[in-house]
Every structure is written in structure tokens, then in C-alpha cells.
Amino acid sequence: MIDQHGPSLTAAEPPPRPHASFGRTLLGRTIGGYVAFADATTRWTEFGRDNLAPFLAGERPCVLAFWHGRLMLARHGWPLKDARVPCNALISQSKDGEIIAVAMETVGLKTTRGSTAKAGKDKGGARALRDLVKATKLGETVAITPDGPKGPRMRATLGTVQLARLTGAPVVPMAWCSAPRITLNSWDRFFIPAPFGRGVFVWGKPIDVPRDGDDLALEAARQEIEAALNAVTDEADARMGAPRMTPATRPMVEIGPATWRETP
């Protein structure tokens, strides 16, 4: 429902998802509580929040994009107290994804389950895409990790581009860094923030994806989104004096006898 104040917060109901086990529910709620506590006790300095203002006001939906390694405090990127519309986060259908979904819902976000299909196995990506498109038609914002759920690190897939093309919603890149923190030796170099620290949050300029673009235009948009995400991540890290996080090397493909190159 749309009124003069923008889309209603109760416009869309999240699709049903499998019931979480007691253990995963408890762990998800515990993580969600920790995320809310760490966010609330961090002394934040924000840059580029004006880029988010029209979307918080409900003037139009957007696609919030951030790297998987910065998932834990990404909820700060959509300040609920200032938002006139809800935010839907895309979460994988794995057991770990169930924990993350419960954590996200604990801190006030909606979730949609699904991820890119691999080796012919349906992972709910098509249905999730339809659900996210429906959400944006109701004026709601969506959030996605373009390198999730399993990488390669800081390399955007075409899924984010396709979502922006289908919805007409611009992509807003965002990133954070805080100290003190723990950096896991995982594929995404996952950040775990400590409470009562200092943090920087950066939002980049919105990126529009052409709705009628051909394959070359969509690949150009993918590269633009990837570069913008790496730029805001570099800025957040630099402002906190953290080492620069480097993207993973892309898989190599054979293009001729004894000739190899990185995939685009």
C-alpha cells in the first residue's frame, strides 16, 4: 500500500521458510543480540549518508550492496529509526544461512532465502529473485552480498546486476570497518567487531543499471558495481588505519593452446 508518506512498513509479508531447529534459532538470536549491542556501542563516523537519504525516505527502492566479509554490522547501513520502508536481506538456504536469517530478523530486517544455482542444483535463487522484485514493487529496499555466499571474495556476480535491471532500483554500495575487531581466516576475511569500539561507515553513490542493456552493458555494470564496492571498502579501511583487503584472484580459463586468462 502506498500513501503520501511513502510505502507502508506492512506492505509485504516475507515468504514462508523452513522452521529453524532450536539450536540454530538460539544461536541466530544470540548473534543478532550481539550485533545489535556492538552496533549500539560503536562510536560511528559516517561518510556519504546523503547518498542513502532518498531511499530511507521511501522516495524509491534501492539495492544495498556490501561484501560478505562485512555482513555482521551491515544492518547499520539501513538505519531502522530513520527508514520509512523495510529492508529485505537475501540469505542463502544453507544451514548457516538459517542462522544468519534468524540473526537478521532479530535486528529488525526481513529476509528472503535463496542463492545462485550451481551444477544444475536449484538453490532457490529464481524464487528469491521473484520475491525481491515483488518487494521493490512495493517500495521496499533489498540488501545483497554480490560475492556471497561462497565467493570469490570481493568479486561481484551478475546476480546483483540482474536484480537491479529487473527492478529498476539503483545499487548503493556500502562498507564499514571498526576497531578493535577480529578478522577470520575465512574465504571472505570475515570481520567480527568488538563492542565499545570506533567505526567508519561509508555509502557510495547510487549506480543505475540499464533495463534494456545487452550482455556487454550488463558486464560493464557488474564491473562498475565491483569497483565501487572495493572503493568504499578501501575508504572505510583506510580511515580506520586497517590494512587494505585485496580481492581474491578470479578463476583462470583456457582460451587457446597453453593460453590462460582471468575470467572477467
Distance CA 83, CA 132 (A): 18
Give the model's confidence band at 251: pLDDT under 50 very low, under 70 low, under 90 confident, else very high.
low
Give the model's confidence band at 136: pLDDT under 50 very low, under 70 low, under 90 confident, else very high.
very high
Evaluate if residue 111 carries a pLDDT over 80.
yes
Question: What is the share, in percent, of the chain residues with pLDDT greater than 70?
Answer: 83
**Direct distance between the N- and C-terminal alpha carbons of the chain, in angstroms, rounded to an integer:** 41
| Total-model pTM | 0.85
List strand residue ranges (DSSP E) for the chain, in order: 2-3, 6-7, 43-47, 63-65, 87-91, 110-113, 141-144, 171-183, 191-203, 252-256, 259-262
3-state secondary structure of 69: helix
Evaluate if residue 33 carries a pLDDT over 90.
yes
Distance CA 42, CA 82 (A): 18
Evaluate if residue 122 carries a pLDDT over 70.
no
Give the model's confidence band at 92: pLDDT under 50 very low, under 70 low, under 90 confident, else very high.
confident
Mean pLDDT of the chain: 87
Distance CA 4, CA 6 (A): 6
Evaluate if residue 7 carries a pLDDT over 70.
no
Burial 106-138 (b: 16+ CB within 10 A, else e): bbebbbbbbbbeeeeeebbbeebbebbebbbeb
Give the model's confidence band at 14: pLDDT under 50 very low, under 70 low, under 90 confident, else very high.
very low
pLDDT value of residue 237: 98
pLDDT value of residue 30: 98
Question: Looking at per-residue confidence, does 262 or 228 come out higher?
Answer: 228
> What are residue 241's DSSP bridge partners?
none
Question: What is the share, in percent, of the chain residues with pLDDT greater than 90?
Answer: 75
The residues, ordered by sequence, that sit 6+ positions from 151 with a Cβ below 8 Å of its Cβ are 68, 187, 188, 248
pLDDT digit string, tens, across residues 209-243: 999 999 999 999 999 999 999 999 999 999 999 99
Question: Closest Cα partner for 16 from 118, 106, 109, 110?
Answer: 110
Residue with cell 520475491: 131
Give the model's confidence band at 126: pLDDT under 50 very low, under 70 low, under 90 confident, else very high.
confident
Distance of CA 212 to the CA centre of its chain: 24
pLDDT value of residue 20: 65
